[in-house]
Amino acid sequence: MRLWSYNESKCIFAHSTSPARCLRYTHPSPLHLLSQCRRIGISSTPKSPPREFPISGFDTLNSSQIIEEETLPSYSKEHYYPARLGEVLNSQYQIITKLGFGSSSTICNNNRYLTLKIHIPTNHPPPEIQLSQYLSTLPSSPTGQKYIRLALDSFEIPGPYGLHPCILYEPAGIDIRDYIHCLEGDALPENLLRVTLRFMLIALDYLHEAKVIHTDIQPRNILLGINDTSILAEMEEDEISNPAPRKQLADRTIFVTRAMPLTSGEPVLADLGEARLAKGKQTGLIMPSVYRAPEVMLGMYWDSKVDIWGLGQTAWTLFEQGHLFTTHDLETDDHQARRFAEMISLLGPPPVEFLRRSEESLKFWDEDGKWKGCVEIPEQSLESRESRLQPDDQMLFLRFLRKTLFWLPEERPTAKELLMDEWLRGADY
């Protein structure tokens, strides 16, 4: 049985300068700058010698043009390592092409190709280094670990404004948000949604058994795997023969992103940068606001069930061409009231038992759990919002979704229990 298929894709690989490409990198990840690099022979273990990269034959952009990482609201050149194509890092890794950018780190791939994330300067090592080391020592399920993108190694490199932590990973393809833009309707078909969620639940079961909470389950952290690494060598050769445009400044060069080709591997869960090693209930603000669980919004204790809530919302985003809750900003009490009103309309009112766990709930409900009416509850239901499925299939899908979105965290199933869900199992079982 083939669990992961891309036969419905409309994309073909094209060079980043081609106007015909359909991979969308106009909205890059807020956490990563991507580039590709290769292992070379300067270290004690002989590999291949460094390549010579073109010093001409590329388009030079006007220095006043704002591009790439400069477009981010929080951009500061002091945060970025001024990486250069052809540069050798840690006497072992040669950067060969740029795949993306973001606000706190950089990524590269190497021959054996790997991925290198270069963080902004910090006095503390990124937590995913310690978490990956911890997970790699556990006698846990190798199947579950297969679908988690763990750090393989780490080192530091000096930049103009401090030391940049670097983390090495196995390479992976585009995130699933970019993949669905290549499909009819900009959404996953039901069969691919099922198998994607199965892989993510296997990954979450592995993490939760190891007492690790991911806290950042969302589409951009689901990456396509790479079965055929020859595409990475092709990207390297393409950078030599068709060098990326760039903007050359006095103290750095900003290269234009090269699109990652579409790949056909099984998806993996990425980015343990916000993960927590937790053997009990936790406190503190976590999760992207659009996916934030109610117990987190109300300042309650939380546990691994926040990942189940995030998975449910991710399922909706991938399938329904939009977010389940339309209030994205949770910065004010009014914004939170709007989100809670949406939750009530779609999930029903919260149990009084849940509300009594936090005094914050008294801003929105009275002591008996009655909504104070600070924001009108929308006239809608999950059934009215779901538009792609026939009644029987819709019933099963929404039953699965409701399991992930119980107000009471303890009523949400574990990842292992969700794997047995009737809709998720589908006709394949």
Taking only the tens place, the pLDDT of each residue in 25-68 is 222 333 334 455 565 544 444 456 788 899 899 999 999 999 99
Q: Are strands 88-89 and 35-39 parallel, antiparallel or unpaired?
A: unpaired
CA 93 to chain CA mean position, Å: 25
CA gap 165, 151 in Å, rounded: 12
Which one-letter amino acid corresponds to residue 389? L
CA 69 to chain CA mean position, Å: 18
Residues in the chain: 429
Check residue 39 and give its pLDDT. 56
Q: Which residues pair with 115 in a beta bridge?
A: 169
Name the pLDDT band for 107 (thresholds 50, 70, 90).
low
Give which of 296, 148, 289, 163 is closest to 209, Cα–Cα.
148
Q: Which residues pair with 222 in a beta bridge?
A: 269
Give which of 279, 276, 281 is closest to 409, Cα–Cα.
281
CB 119 within 8 A of CB 166: yes
Task: Delimit the domains of the chain by residue range.
Answer: 174-225+276-425
CB 287 within 8 A of CB 196: no
Q: Among the residues of 46-109, which ranges form H helices?
A: none
pLDDT in tens, 151-190: 988 999 999 999 999 988 888 999 999 999 888 888 899 9
Q: Which residue is it, tokens 């790479």?
A: 226
CA gap 1, 3 in Å, rounded: 6
CATH of domain 174-225+276-425: 1.10.510.10
Q: Token digits for 84?
A: 């250069």
pLDDT in tens, 265-301: 999 999 999 999 987 789 999 999 999 999 999 999 9
CA gap 6, 411 in Å, rounded: 35
Q: Token digits for 56?
A: 């001409």
Check residue 14 and give its pLDDT. 19
CA gap 197, 267 in Å, rounded: 10
Asked whether residue 376 carries a pLDDT value surpassing 60, the answer given is yes
The catalytic position among 175, 178, 205, 216 is 216
Residue 251 annotated among the catalytic residues of the structure? no
Q: Which residues pair with 253 in a beta bridge?
A: 248
Q: Which residue is it, tokens 């780190």?
A: 105
Give which of 225, 420, 203, 419 is closest to 307, Cα–Cα.
203
pLDDT in tens, 318-348: 999 899 999 888 999 999 999 999 999 999 9
Q: Token digits for 46?
A: 């002989």
Give which of 187, 182, 150 is closest to 261, Cα–Cα.
182
Give ∠ CA 67-69-72 in degrees, rounded to 5. 100
